[in-house]
Structure 1
Amino acid sequence: MPGPILDLSAIVTCSHGGKATPVPVDARVLLSGKPAATQASIYAVAGCGFVPPGGNGPCVTGTIVVAAARVFASGIPVALQTSVTTCVPTGTPLIPIQTQTRVIGS
């Protein structure tokens, strides 16, 4: 499904409001001067508000499960706003709130 490509400046959170930052990003492919996030990027989550008494939380990392099918950065599919994602250990998705809008991938 087409969507804006995520870059380092995209605002992404876990489902519980924690801030997610991609590490590493592809520094060779820039979108308005910001490195692109790829399927290989692991999102580090900080400030997740989900702390259940029995475990399975808070969110620590997030991964891109399904990324772009036709757009690649250094041979790796780029992450899209519409990509399928999951957080560990909760299994909830990452939520891209704000992205660049100039470059669309599919």
Structure 2
Amino acid sequence: MSGNALTANTAMQCPHGGQVRATPSNTRAKSDAHLLTSGDTFTVAGCPFTLPPGAPSPCLSVTWIVADLRVTAGSPTLSESAAGMCLSGANVPQGPVSVVTTQRRVGTR
């Protein structure tokens, strides 16, 4: 995969509009902030998703399915073309994560 690198300042959302927040484990490689890797912790806040009978089932976390192949910072780094899946509290896939904005100075592969 390739594209602009995702950093701790990257804005991401779940498919229902919840905000994704990353907690980077990488403390060395950075652009405008520390680069994100597939091994980092990603939490979702404010997801309004409910199941058809009205039972809340918000997105709570993100797992990465596809990360960069050639660049690592402890774990494979993430770029705009990485594929992440938002998960409910029961680890049920609820849709892909969307990258809203990121830095434009550093690209990865």
Do the two structures share a fold, i.e. TM-score over 0.5? yes
* Counterpart secondary structure, 2:30: strand
- The equivalent of 1:39 in structure 2 is 38
Separation in structure 2 between the aligned mates of residue 35 and residue 2 of structure 1, nearest angstrom? 18
Measured against aligned partners, the alpha-carbon deviations of 1:34-59 in whole angstroms (never above 9, x if no partner) come to 11110101210000121223658210
Deviation at 1:24, TM superposition (A): 3.2
Separation in structure 2 between the aligned mates of residue 56 and residue 88 of structure 1, nearest angstrom? 13
* Counterpart secondary structure, 1:60: strand
* Counterpart secondary structure, 2:37: coil
Q: How many residues align?
A: 104
Give structure 2 stretches of 5+ with no counterpart: none
* Counterpart secondary structure, 1:36: coil
* Counterpart secondary structure, 1:65: strand
TM (norm. structure 2) is 0.86
Give structure 1 stretches of 5+ with no counterpart: none
Q: Is the 8 A contact 2:68 2:78 kept in 1?
A: yes
| Cα root mean square deviation, aligned | 1.6
Q: Which structure shows the bigger proportion of residues in strand conformation?
A: 1
- The equivalent of 1:102 in structure 2 is 105
